[in-house]
Structure 1
């Protein structure tokens, strides 16, 4: 791209072509890395194949060997294995390049979650491959060798064997990623640890079905894949509970005193006056609003007492807040309104009568430092808005959690 096409502001959004150029550069680096590793491994291709074939060779009857049924198989099969091994060994660098391309578009909290998951997913995949080679292969090949009919010589083709072990490597590597998938589902809000616990019987049955489809038609290999999948699912539930508990603790922590002082200096306060004309933003809530706040906002009361509301309880609490707003509206929007109220919402501004206005109101309250009031308005948006509006509300709530 020529210098004239570069944006003046380095923080400005880059044009689509620049993203394509960056993607091309990273793909070239990935290809070079794979090629370099392949050049280093190719002279040892036959030794690598001998190492991969060792579990089968150890179980073959005396005098039996592997065979090549195609003319070019003695050369192409080790060549194929060396290339796949190069990709396998280059995976950390490949994922690093992928992360470098994706990371600038992520939020800060998404980066904090994605970095450990990315690293752990690499190690889990390697552990799955090692589990298949050192534990599963000896048991599978011992079973298959023992079940060979009399009069049949077990002499496996080298190409067929390579395809077989690569399929198992891939199956076990992906199966060991189950904890990562479980944590991601909980992190993005698709499910909860409690829902995963209720789904346990279906997951166990599904693990055996997947084991049946991805492994040879014998009970041993199916069980050796299904049982680790189930145990890894249980491990994912444990880590997802830790993630949820950590988020709750982060939310329940007291705000920074300096931030509180700064927020109080920005937000106008009166003994009994609202912020922006609503009882939800009042600095000193009335007893009824305080009781509602204890359930809606974990900052409001002892964190050990806070429990998430059910849908019916949430509707009842929001109805109480709405009724409280209606009772206070004449006093806060009347001609005797205080200067604080007039500053928060200009004179003649319409009342909050739509979800979009409530989203704007929540942003305004957040700027004024009234976190509790902003959360309460966002809870109403989650109750009344459509899918896009609820997504915006959840993003603002996440930003409030990180503040």
Structure 2
């Protein structure tokens, strides 16, 4: 979205038109809406803004639920925004640490700031992009008593850790939430950039975090060698996808915890924590059950702890699959009961599928250079039953495992 489009939208008539149009969920609906609004005499800027926002609001339901219906977005801002249920967990940690004021540096469209303000924290949200800052201000308008928004850089608006303001805020009750720009500038198509090109620079973020309680939101694939020893590193997965790595410092870092895997599924939340990377469990032969650790557990290198909870071992020292004979599972893994194993060849697998009357098949793989979609085309799926096919590697070689989800 360009400033001309936003200016056209942020009028009483523009916002009323957006509400009138309602959610747009497909490219075909986009084309129809553009034609209808242009025929009604609306300006190109207003039509572009209204249709674009209606389409983004529909997409935003997955992250913001019903709140999306009153928010504004940019395409890039929505893609990079924190899911509201995850942002709420950030706010809860702030409150539990005794924080009352948060400076959100790199606030984007304001997803985390919404959660902070909703939790009763005073928020100063900052973004370097003028359009994005204006959208954040609109989204935070319901919290005008709790939130302010500035257009500027993180470096310009970083708090002084020794500051005691006129409102009585004491040092130690103020925290920073930092989301460095890790992609090229823009409101739609953006590309990832190297850590050396992030804004603000990662070293600057770490320096601030050493002086002020800080949460730094980063991509889950961050080079672990870059993580400072004194922070808590928490990988977060939501509904099966690893969505972020947060580095917590100062009062926001929990005592004795340096590695954490937070698994969020719907309204349920489970966390595995440790003082350091866990030692892997020993390799053992395939047992009655196979377990696939959640991506956050893998990223946090807590696979060994998950294995010991299940009385399981590693299927291969280089593969993130666990196996054992105990009929156990946990929120930190997906578990499968093994039916049989075979060579990882389509002919052999097809024979097993026929023998087991399998017509619906989930295919998973680790440690094998196979495209599951292409491999599926080689299989004859004509039965009435369902199963999971796991293609992987063991110390003895490549195998296929036919299994059932537990």
Give the alignment's TM-score, normalised by structure 2: 0.25
Between Structure 1 and Structure 2, whose CA radius of gyration is higher?
1
Q: Flag the structure with higher helix content.
A: 1
Give the alignment's TM-score, normalised by structure 1: 0.25
Higher RCO structure, 1 or 2 (CA under 8 Å, sep 6+): 1
